[in-house]
Structures are given as C-alpha cells and as structure tokens.
Amino acid sequence: MKIEAGANSREKILVEATRIAQAHGYNGLNVRDLASAVGIKAASVYHHFASKAALGAAVARRYWEDSEATLRTIEETAGSPLECLRRYPDTFRTALDRDNRICLCSFLAAEMDDLPEEIKSEVRKFAEVNVAWLKRMLVSQAAIPAKECGSRAEAIFSAVAGAQLIARSRSDVSVYDQLIRSYLSAGLLPGKK
C-alpha cells in the first residue's frame, strides 16, 4: 500500500512540476510552492527526487518520452508520412490550448545557460527525438532529396516551436494557426499532393 501511495505522490509531483515549468520555466519552479500545490510537505518532494535538478531532469525526461509516444501514435494512426507531417504542428498546439502554456523543452531551452547539466541533456534529447522523427517522415514521403531531409527537419522543428512562442506572447492560438498555414503556403511544411 505504501509503494502505491508513494508512486501516486511521485506522479502528482511530476504532473504539477510540468505544469509549473511550462508556465514559468525551471527557474520559476519553487519546491515549496510545488509541494503546496500537490498537498505535501517540501521534504516529501526530496523523498522522491534528490534535488531540484533531479526533479527537473525527471520532468524533462518524462516530457520527451511522452512526446516520443505521441509521435509514435501519429505514425501508427496516420495513413501516410505526409499526413504525419501535417499533424505534427498539433503536438505543439496542444500546450497553447492548455492555459497558453508552451512546450516544456522549448521553455527550458531558453534557460539553457542556467540549467544543471542533467536537465540540459534531457532538453537536447527532446529536440533529437523530434528532428529524427521529422527526418524519417520526410525521407519516407520522398518529396525532397534525402540529403536535404535533415536540415528540413530541423527547420520544421524550429519553425513550429517558434510559432508557439509567438502565439504565447500574444495569448492567441489563432496566431499559431496562421503561422502554420503560412509554413504550408511557403512549402516549409509539405502540403497535400
């Protein structure tokens, strides 16, 4: 019974820490405020995570793992690589629909100089997972030469994350949608054949 309760507390901590970090970044993540939001003592946070850095790394790791699972689901349910690419921006739009938050790893990347190394490596992994998936979809779709797929994947990842930042700064998800449409019009994101 204690293991289950402990696992439940750990999960609550991760969920709430993610919510806070998406709104305020790692530097805005205060362990006392986190504990209060979860309904536990601050010492209990340290029972599950040895330090704030360990908590931040666990949150970032969970975030990229969840993102990787989402991309896998898109791949399994979409009818083609083109459809996968067209659905990719929705993965970033979701955060905006949740109280105008942004991608956790985008927020953390903006704080990169001030992050502990264990968090930096998890943030880099998020980018690697996204770019590798995009590259694989571009190669499979064969709309551009294979040698250009890596740089195009990086451009798509950067552009979509950037659109999310701009939309958040204006508290307007329609700005995100307009930017994604402009990427389609410009050919950055592949359009329908």
User: pLDDT (tens digit, 9 = 90+) per residue, 31-75?
Assistant: 999 999 999 999 999 999 999 999 999 999 999 999 999 999 999
Confidence of residue 3 (pLDDT cuts 50, 70, 90): very low
CA dist 31 and 73 (Å) reads 33
CA dist 26 and 20 (Å) reads 8
CA dist 29 and 18 (Å) reads 9
Mean pLDDT on 13-20: 94
In this structure, what token pair is assigned to residue 25?
């970044």
Residue 158's pLDDT is: 96
Q: Does domain 2-186 have CATH number 1.10.357.10?
A: yes
Residue 51 neighbours by CB under 8 Å, 6+ apart = none
Confidence of residue 193 (pLDDT cuts 50, 70, 90): very low
Q: How many CB atoms lie within 10 A of CB 12?
A: 16
Residue 106's pLDDT is: 84
Can you give the C-alpha Rg of the chain in angstroms? 18
In this structure, what token pair is assigned to residue 116?
């502990």
Written as one letter, the residue type at 111 is: E
Domain boundaries, the chain: 2-186
For 187, phi then psi, to 5°, come to 90, 0
- Give tens-digit pLDDT for 93-102: 998 988 888 8
Percentages (nearest 5) of helix, strand, coil residues in the chain: 80, 0, 20
CA dist 104 and 64 (Å) reads 9
CA dist 86 and 96 (Å) reads 18
| Percent of the chain topping pLDDT 90 | 79
pTM, two decimal places: 0.87
CA distances 11 to 23, 44, 66, 99, 176, Å, are: 19, 13, 14, 21, 31
Confidence of residue 192 (pLDDT cuts 50, 70, 90): low
| Percent of the chain topping pLDDT 70 | 95
What is the CA 95 to chain-centroid distance, rounded? 8
**DSSP alpha helix (H) spans, the chain:** 2-24, 31-38, 42-48, 52-77, 81-97, 104-110, 117-141, 149-169, 173-186
Q: What is the DSSP letter of 3?
A: H
